[in-house]
Chains A and B, each alone.
Chain A
Amino acid sequence: EADIYQTPRYLVIGTGKKITLECSQTMGHDKMYWYQQDPGMELHLIHYSYGVNSTEKGDLSSESTVSRIRTEHFPLTLESARPSHTSQYLCASSDFADEKLFFGSGTQLSVL
């Protein structure tokens, strides 16, 4: 079944740790995105990619980095997590000709 997957669903880590949030889609979409969502707040675009080896920063500045080595995979990395990074991270994808986004279930990150 075509879908978009995020792991882990929940992550609690200590300050200074390096983490990678995984996102994979099996829909063959060219475009992928990372949004950050704080409780009761808007979703903010932090990274996007329109294809392999293409990554761009979004509207909200983020200390995280992303890579797009394969079409289906768009991981997000924090080299040194801090409590200010505590948030929900949502991955999404879309077809090149359509603006409809398909979202994963999200990763709730808590940095202690």
Chain B
Amino acid sequence: GNSVTQMEGPVTLSEEAFLTINCTYTATGYPSLFWYVQYPGEGLQLLLKATKADDKGSNKGFEATYRKETTSFHLEKGSVQVSDSAVYFCALERRDTGRRALTFGSGTRLQVQP
């Protein structure tokens, strides 16, 4: 079946540090890959996506590249801010099967200290 594995948190960084949150997936076929973010007290929201191999998704300074050879979709940001403190979820969707259901990783909590 499909699965997503993320690094365990919490990840604690100082402001302006470089961020990497690892995400690997297991899926047959051609999944689309996503990063969703959940800020404190708010609902999940899409951060970025990539729909085919070698695509790079980017938003708000965050980037992730769809690497089919390593089945990875690591999230990176060059300089984090306190406002980036949130829980980040990696997810995949098997569009090619016709199903519209996201499979999520367990989430990684990021804490950015001033």
A, B from the same assembly: no
A residues in contact (CB < 8 Å) with B: none
